[in-house]
Structure 1
Amino acid sequence: MSDTPQDSQDSVLPVIDEQAIGAAVETALAAIAAATSTTELKQVRIDHTGDASVLTTANRSLKSLPKDQRAAAGKLVGQAKGRVQQALGARQGELAAAEEEAALATETVDVTVPTDRRPRGARHPLRMLEDRISDFFVGIGWEIAEGPEIESEWFNFDALNADADHPSRSLQDTLYIAPEGSGALLRTQTSPVQIRAMLERGAPLYIACPGTVYRADEMDATHSPMFNQVEGLAIDKGLTMANLVGTLDAFAAHLFGGKPITRLRPNHFPFTEPSAEMDFRCFRCEARLGLDHDADPLCRVCGGTGWIEMGGCGMVHPNVLRAAGVDPEEYQGFAFGLGIERILMLRNGVKDMHDMVEGDVRFPQHYGTEI
């Protein structure tokens, strides 16, 4: 029967067209010659020798030809592919050599040009800011005090009126030094320096305590297990919260310029009573113009609130004064604590804590601290 499937298949057997193969080769050779880069040539290779190309399709169809036609057709297709592959190889060599020569010309280094064999280093912005903070307190007549970074629980917690079950004593917050029960730890604040200064020198006393402190925090964009603080302590007769506010106002003006607008928010700390968080008006958005101006809701510095948290502060708790040998009936004092990294992030626009600690030498130079 003439309508059987076998008869239908035989009637559509493919035929290798010599003219079509020749045209495909000429098109491929023209595209190869027109390629101006190895990237363009790679696309030409895909277009003219890839799975969808005329030559590859013809090569696949050879097995469907009658046996007496396969040899001639195979020779035709093979010679065509050989011409194209040869042209591709030659053009690849030409383009690769030209690109290498261009790269060498572009990247040529004049070895006769004088250079600084010992590039200048740069002080870290944190150290520069710490010096600027110290200069302020020395300028108003205070002293800079230092103490050990490995402390005892008594100096770090007990003398600061922290209860035995206070959350800050837990392993989730504090890094203790072996062996267990030794009472030694990495200080979580620079407040122990204040206790040591009162025990050694008594009152009156005006000191600022910058230094490194440690917390059991995970490293992220705004936290680090090791960071820097500056704490201030003033002990004298007749001191009040007004003296505290005046000191912090002057400190904010020194760091950020202008006439800062500040506020106190009630809070609780075991070592001060009364205690407060001090905020100052954002210095980046419209909020800086005064309380009658709204903050920019998109401001990254204040988060759209118009206020920036400066740190904790308050009047020194009488129990702390007694622990340090100072009579709270005769002397009063105020204290405050600020994070130096936070000040740097606000003042210089640093967005990620990682930039401060990863040691990239370009970081300090970027913030203009090269010396």
Structure 2
Amino acid sequence: MKQFWAFVKIEFYHIFRDKRTMLILLGMPVIQIVLFGFAISTELKNSRVGVLDPVSDRTTRRIVERLDENRYFDVVCYLHDSQEIEDAFRQGKVDVVVQFSPDFENNLYHTGNAGLQLVVDATDPNTATMAANYAQGVMATALQEEGQAQVAIQTHLLFNPQMKSAYNFVPGVMGLILMLICAMMTAVSIVREKETGTMEVLLVSPIRSVFIILAKAVPYLVLSGINLTTILLLSVYVLHVPVAGSLLLLAFLSFLLIAVALALGLFVSCLVDNQVAAMLISGMVLMMPVMLLSGMIFPTESMPVVLQWLSDIIPAKWYILAVKKVMIEGLGLVAVWKEIIILSVMAVALIVLSLVKFKDRLE
């Protein structure tokens, strides 16, 4: 029995000595419960509301006040005509627009022809459905308080009138696939050279070490381009998700994310010395944040502020936002300049960090 406990004691020593094992055993459960507990939320929070009210009478003001008082909505702007509605959505100013017909109060009490329309961004069908249902409930309650419960509230779904879920998950899947494949394959490829001892042989060749590392990333850049083409073809011809904007701009955004992922894979390869560790970091550690914090499945607006800040450092978040604008909403370069700059800065920063780290390890 003493021998048994001696072996148990030795095994504990081995575990405690390995920091990576301790991180996986004790750190990952904490990270997972925090992310899953706070990031996975089906509640609608802080949905931005725009109001188009030609007359602004007492009844319309009462309805708008009820919306603004509700914890699910924030009235952020007032529009002047119907031409501004789609522009407000395309510029990312609003999530919902409440449109009152002219002379709403007079028609409500005298003619019975008062018109009330709810315009919702349906690029994310689940969020659009919740926003429409919540807003209709709030406005119906406000109308009942006015003694007018018979007003029909019309709902107009913008960008995705058929409410196809593919419109939402295709940009997310594109970001997930490109991030994981590029980062994982690049990291594993370079670490494999370290494990087999061929990296040292390559580094003593006449070619500079920087070009050796970059050369190993080029094949994955080409293969990622093939993956991108396949994804787009399946999206358009099988899932029937149209490319409403510029295909060239969409390709540029995708290759920008690929560059970020390749640089991230290169950085991971500089931190670890075996393929298992590279697979764990590139696969498990990247997959969960990308799926939960990028807006791929759950809207980041519904998350706590700390997780919203954390989501800002995930490249896939900015890629998914840009792809939705270009692919679904049909916007151009002006609408995605912010995402392009952020992804470019991330790519440059990761490449510089990787090359510096690689140089340090050589020395």
Q: Normalised by the shorter chain, which TM-score bucket?
A: under 0.3
Larger radius of gyration: 1
**Structure-2-length-normalised TM-score:** 0.22
More strand per residue: 1
Q: Answer 1 or 2: higher relative contact order, Cα 8 Å, separation at least 6.
A: 2
